Structure 1
Amino acid sequence: MANDYLVIIDMQNDFVDGSLGTPEACAIAPAVIEKARIFDGTVVFTLDTHGSNYASTQEGQHLPVTHCIKGTAGWHLIPELEEVRQARNARVFEKPTFGSTELAQWLVERNQEDPITSLEFIGVCTDICVVSNALMVKAFLPEVPVRVDASCCAGVTPQAHDAALATMSSCQVEIING
């Protein structure tokens, strides 16, 4: 029996149509929502999560756009995905940085209990948090097939999206719908 996982990265209001939103993120939202609804397996979410001290952090100094402050409207999943999360009682990983070691370790534990047959990553931003998490999980679980659905990802720019897909492909992450 298949034991597939779908990891939805940072589909939060601030990244879709908020302070760091892009037309590309808005464009992929319907496909991400549909995939989350129909996925035959375990769905988990990550949330980029910052505190009120964001501006004084390393990230805040390099990206001086306040976003995903815990508890604000921008921090929450887009409404349609929040509905999916609730309906599935899906696990959520809050992460203060690009990649989530907690997610990777949790997947290692799940794999030890019941071998994972595939891991698929979708969401935003392809060139920051998607690539960070996909490659980290690939390092933690090198024998588990990891794939990224390019049609359900958006980067900071289309060029950065394409570059991240190429990097992941070079590291044996399968790129589908690219």
Structure 2
Amino acid sequence: MKVLVVIDMQNDFINGALGTKEAVKIVDSAKAKIDSYLAAGDIVIYTQDTHTEAYLQTQEGQKLPVEHCIKGTPGWEIAQKVYVSGCQVIEKPSFGSIELAELITGMKEIQSIELIGLCTDICVISNAMILKAKMPEVPMVVDASCCAGATLEGHQNALYAMKTCQIEVIGGKDDDSV
């Protein structure tokens, strides 16, 4: 069985408080990837960045003072265009999710894990590194064409770091140049 992890494809990261034109551009390719996994009978898991009204008082909020993904707000919701009902959703209060790693570790006969989503240089890389540390022998892939970073430079740096840590990076303009 293959697992696709869709990281934080939420309204606030696409066209809301922290949205970017790069994030908007990946929505259709992310949806196509999700549909292909489901059509093959594989597993799709979503993560959902989840903050409270006290976000600005948190360490993250002190360093990134932009309220976003406040639970229950439209910005917190997974974008309707990419969400498929019935798939598991893991709410996470920070960049990476130990709960996600434990869930996947508990699954039987995992052939591979693929990650897509937002933001490459924050939450995608955090979850990829946690998963790689927890399951070093499971092949792991990040599809760069279905990811966007907070900045283009951050996106490229994160792809390079993941590739260096033996996470296969596909879908770039030139997969070997990342």
What TM-score do the two structures reach when normalised by structure 2?
A: 0.94
Equivalent residue runs for 1:33-52 within 5 Å:
33-39=31-37, 40=40, 41-52=42-53
Distance 2:160 2:32 in 1: 25
- Deviation of residue 75 (structure 1)? 0.2
- Deviation of residue 80 (structure 1)? 1.4
Name the residue aligned to 1:64: 65
**Aligned partner of 1:13: which letter?**
N
Distance 1:143 1:67 in 2: 35
Match of 1:21 among 12, 19, 22: 19
- Deviation of residue 38 (structure 1)? 1.8
Extract structure 1 runs of 4+ deviating beyond 4 A. none
**1:30 paired to 2:24:** no
Contact 2:22 2:148 in 1 (8 A): yes
- Deviation of residue 97 (structure 1)? 0.2
- Deviation of residue 81 (structure 1)? 1.9
Partner of 2:48, secondary structure, is strand
- Give structure 1 stretches of 5+ with no counterpart: none
Distance 1:37 1:52 in 2: 34
Equivalent residue runs for 1:1-178 within 5 Å:
3-39=1-37, 40=40, 41-82=42-83, 84=84, 86=85, 89-110=86-107, 114-178=108-172
Distance 1:100 1:60 in 2: 18
Aligned length: 169
What TM-score do the two structures reach when normalised by structure 1?
A: 0.94
**Aligned partner of 1:61: which letter?**
Q
* Aligned-residue CA RMSD (Å): 0.6
Name the residue aligned to 2:176: none
Deviations 1:85-133 (Å, cap 9, x if unpaired)?
x1xx1110000000000000111111xxx22000000000000000000
Contact 2:27 2:81 in 1 (8 A): no
Distance 1:145 1:35 in 2: 18
**Aligned partner of 2:26: which letter?**
I
**Aligned partner of 2:106: which letter?**
E
- Give structure 2 stretches of 5+ with no counterpart: 173-178
**Aligned partner of 1:148: which letter?**
V
- Deviation of residue 173 (structure 1)? 0.3
**What's the % identity of the aligned pairs?**
52
**Aligned partner of 1:38: which letter?**
S
Deviations 1:122-157 (Å, cap 9, x if unpaired)?
000000000000010000000100110000000001
Question: Quick check: which one's helix share is greater?
Answer: 1
Contact 2:149 2:155 in 1 (8 A): yes
Name the residue aligned to 2:175: none
Distance 1:173 1:93 in 2: 22
